[in-house]
Structure 1
Amino acid sequence: MTASKAEAKKDQFVGNIKENAGSLVGNESLQAEGRTQNSSGNIEETAAKVQGYVQGAYDQVAGAVKGAYNSLTGNNTDEASNNVQQKKGEAQKEFNAKF
């Protein structure tokens, strides 16, 4: 299963609404359902961040290794492409580092 930050945010938002509505009208079942959905959204958001960080680390390492190989073999075209992959990975890792 691929974790989705958008789906996680939706679950957090809907969960908060259910929890607050349940609290407002005294419906403990709705309140508990909202807490559960909110917690599920928090977990999914963390999973999505971890997944993004790991993908970024992979891109960073793969780009660096391929770039080094192409540098040694004199393949400047692919070397530039691999540098882009490495930089993309670094950016993705940084974006997802706050988990």
Structure 2
Amino acid sequence: MDFSKTESKKDRAVGNVKDNVGGAVGNESLQAEGKAQNNSGQAQGALATAQGYVAGAVDQAAGAAKGAYNSLTGNSSGEAGNKLQEKKGEAQKNWNS
């Protein structure tokens, strides 16, 4: 399953509105629905961050391994491309930390 930070933010915002409106008008059902939607959005956001971090770690490790192989075999153009993949993975990990 692919988790989305955008969907997470939308669910948290809509959940907060429902919670506040439900509380203001005394609609406990709407308020509970809002709290549940907000909590769901928070969980989805945490999962999206974890998913992004893992993808970055995999990219970083793959780039490092391929780069080391290309270094040993003397493939300097492949080594440069793999260094780029490694740096991309590192940046993705940092973004999702």
Query: Are 1:42 and 2:26 counterparts?
Result: no
Unaligned runs of 5+ in 2: none
Runs ≥4 residues deviating over 3 A = none
Percent identity (aligned): 63
The aligned runs of 1:20-39 (5 Å cut-off) are 20-39=20-39
1:81-92 to structure 2, matched below 5 A, reads 81-92=81-92
**TM superposition score normalised by structure 1:** 0.97
Shift of 1:11: 0.2
- TM-score by length of structure 2 reads 0.99
Structure 1 residue 32 displacement after superposition = 0.2
**Paired residue total:** 97
List gaps (5 residues or longer) in structure 1: none
1:6-17 equivalent positions in 2, closer than 5 A = 6-17=6-17
Alpha-carbon separation, structure 2, partners of 1:32 and 1:77: 58
